[in-house]
Every structure is written in C-alpha cells, then in structure tokens.
Amino acid sequence: MSANKVVKGILSEKLGVDRRSIRMESRIGDDLGADSLKYLEIIIALESGLDIRIEDADAEKVVTVRDLLDVVRNEVDLKRQAKAA
C-alpha cells in the first residue's frame, strides 16, 4: 500500500473524516480537526503501521497533509536504505 493511502487512511480513521475529503493542502489541525492528542495518535499509528520512527522535531513541523506525507516518505526511504546497507 502506498504511503499516500496509509496516511489518508489513518487520518480518516482517527479523525472521522471521509478520506475523499482529505486534500494534500488540508491543514491537519484547522481543516481536519486534529487536536494535539489526536495528532499524537496519528503519529503513533503511522509509526506502528509502517514500522518507522518519526522524530519529534519532524512531527512538530507538520501543518498540512502534504507535510505529513513528506515526513512519512522520508522515514520509509531511510528505513529502506538502512535495510539495503
């Protein structure tokens, strides 16, 4: 499953929004309604579901779905590189 589908699926599940309404430019807090606790749940679900570790500093910079997807893709790429080495 693609990172895009995983991110949108978890956002939809945790925030109770239709995944079709989630846009790349959607702000996770303002547009999708995530408070800090929900956002933490999203990060934990992504880490668990993709077997990655999202650094706190990276998570704190996320505003939009695109930002979150960029962080997730970066961590997935780092994991692949580490396995290949």
Give the DSSP H or E segment for 57.
Answer: helix 56-61
Virtual torsion, Cα 84, 41, 67, 46, nearest 10 deg? 20
31 is catalytic: no
Taking the C-alpha atoms of residue 71 and residue 59, their distance in angstroms, rounded to an integer, is: 8
The residue from 18, 30, 31, 35 that is catalytic is 35
| Residues labelled catalytic | 35
